[in-house]
Each structure stands twice: as structure tokens, then as C-alpha cells.
Amino acid sequence: MKFNLLILALLVVIPTIFAVNHHEKKREECPEGNKFKCRILGKEKFTTKGTTKGTTKGTTKGTTKGTKKTPTFKKGEKPSWYINQGQHTETICTIHGERKSVASSGCGVASLAMAIGAVTKKKVTPETLFKEGYKANYYKGEGFSHAALTFLGKKHGVNVRWTDNINAVYKALESGKGVIFNVGPEGKYHFTKGGHYVFLYGCKKENGVEKVYVFDPNGKNNHVADLLPLKKSQGGIEIAKKGFNGDFAIVG
């Protein structure tokens, strides 16, 4: 009787020990990449591996891609987006018997077209902007207002924000944005005898002086990729203002 009970006990214990050992062996052999199998056998290393890889890759890639440097140019250099308004003579409308074109009074739309081309790499002609502004009743024969350029910029997918904060202007240029500058007859650079728009894109510090690259749509002026001081305190183009707030438009 005792012998039979001993045999019965051995028959129960031995398979149990074998099953436990077999299970532990399978846990050790579980491949880290097999998520389903590891979950069944209780091995959870795949969770740590997946999380670490995803977080590191996503963060590093996003940060690097978002960095943008300000461009630099040689004096007289004409990028593909540069526009000489004098070459755009198509009559857009006639007001009080006078034919109006980009060449006659389109420095604002020429500057905005340059800004769109430089910042977004999209090509928009100044004639297109002129016609859209005229159709929307923004053009009365003398040029385009700040509100007109803001409207046209939004229509073509760019934010146009007017400011008189000269530090914000330089920071915007440092970050790769463009700036439209509404200049007047004041100052030593003589952009115009009246009112005029020029485009600023790219900047550079020289001997502590903050300078910007000026792209004047008036090809007769010698200000194409011209590196000039920005701030009034440093003898810059800021002095050539009309005297009211919001002479600079940050584009981008």
C-alpha cells in the first residue's frame, strides 16, 4: 500500500517539475522583438526597447529640422525671387486717365512678391498681387497701404505683421523671416523722394553693428543685396521712416 502511494506521488511531482523548468527555459529564449510571444511568457523587455527608440528618434529629428539660418548675399546679387519693378510695365488699370502698373506705383506689391518668394519659395508675380488688390478696392492710384499688403499676404498664405519694434525686426531676420520696410525721404540712403517700399532679407553683425540686406525693387537705386546698418542709433536705415508706427512688416 505504501509503495503504491509513493509511486503515485512521483507521477504527480515529476511532470510538475518538468513543466516549471520548461516554462523558465522558454522565458529565457523569448525574443525581445516578439511582442505577442513575450506577453504570453511574461517577458516585458520589448516595452522598454520600443519606448526608448521612439522618444529619442522623434525628439532629435524634430529639433534639428526646425533650425533655420539667416541667409547672406554678395552686394548686387539678385536671387531668383528678386523683382525690378521697372521691368513690369503691363497696365493693370487706368485711373483719372493715367495708366497704372507695377512700374508706376507697385513697389509695395513687388516687395511682397519678393517676400513670398524668399520665405515660402512660391512664385507670385507682382502683377497678380496688383490685380487682386485693385479688385478688392485697395488701390486708389497712389500705391498700396499696410492694410492692402496684409490682405494680399494672407490671401497667399503668409502672415504680414506690422511693427515699429526694431529689435523684433532684427530677430525676425535672424530667424529666416522676411521684412517689408515702408521708407520715406528722410535719412542718408535716399531710397525715394516720397513714399516707397523695400524688402529686407538676411542679416549680419559687423563690429557690433546690426546690418541687414536691402533689396530695393527700384532697380535704378543701388540697393540690391546692399548690406546696411538697421538701427537709427547706429546710423542705419531706420531713420528713413515716415514718422508713424508700424513701418516694418514681418513676413512669415
Q: Which residue has the higher pLDDT, 21 or 195?
A: 195
Residues 56 and 119 occupy one common structural domain: no
Residues 137 and 206 occupy one common structural domain: yes
Number of domains present in the structure of the chain: 2
Whether 151 has a pLDDT exceeding 90, the answer reads yes
Q: Does residue 50 lie in a domain region? A: yes
Nearest CA to 119 out of 156, 149, 75 is that of 156
Residues 47 and 156 occupy one common structural domain: no
Q: Does residue 36 lie in a domain region? A: yes
CATH of the domain at 125: 3.90.70.10
Q: Does residue 15 lie in a domain region? A: yes
Beta strand residue intervals within 106-242, DSSP E? 160-163, 178-183, 196-206, 209-215, 224-229
Please tell me the predicted confidence (pLDDT) of residue 1.
53
Q: Does residue 58 lie in a domain region? A: yes
Range 210-239 average pLDDT? 90
Q: Cell numbers of 15, please?
A: 511532470
Q: Is 224 exposed, middle or buried (0-12, 13-18, 19+ CB in 10 A)?
A: buried
Residues 140 and 229 occupy one common structural domain: yes
Range 196-208 average pLDDT? 95
Q: Does residue 78 lie in a domain region? A: no
Residues 186 and 96 occupy one common structural domain: yes
Residues 243 and 144 occupy one common structural domain: yes
Q: Does residue 75 lie in a domain region? A: no
What sections of the chain are H helices per DSSP? 2-29, 35-41, 45-65, 102-105, 107-120, 126-135, 146-155, 166-174
Range 7-26 average pLDDT? 48
Q: Does residue 73 lie in a domain region? A: no
Q: Cell numbers of 240, please?
A: 528713413
Q: Cell numbers of 73, please?
A: 548675399
Nearest CA to 118 out of 158, 75, 166 is that of 158
From 58-62, 76-80, 169-173, 197-201, the region with the lowest mean pLDDT: 58-62
**Rounded-to-5 percentages of helix, strand, coil across the chain:** 45, 20, 40
Of 37, 65, 93, which residue sits at a domain end? 65
Q: Cell numbers of 161, please?
A: 505683421
Residues 217 and 98 occupy one common structural domain: yes
Residues 25 and 118 occupy one common structural domain: no
Residues 120 and 195 occupy one common structural domain: yes
Please tell me the predicted confidence (pLDDT) of residue 187.
66
Residues 97 and 169 occupy one common structural domain: yes
CA atoms within 13 A on the CB side of 157: 8
* pLDDT per position as a tens digit, 50-108: 443 444 344 334 333 444 678 999 999 999 999 999 999 999 999 999 999 999 999 99
Please tell me the predicted confidence (pLDDT) of residue 4.
52
Cα–Cα distances in angstroms (integers) from residue 179 to residues 72, 118, 125, in the given order? 15, 10, 18
Residues 145 and 243 occupy one common structural domain: yes
Please tell me the predicted confidence (pLDDT) of residue 201.
98
Q: Does residue 72 lie in a domain region? A: no
Residues 37 and 135 occupy one common structural domain: no
Q: Cell numbers of 135, please?
A: 479688385
Domain range enclosing 102: 85-251
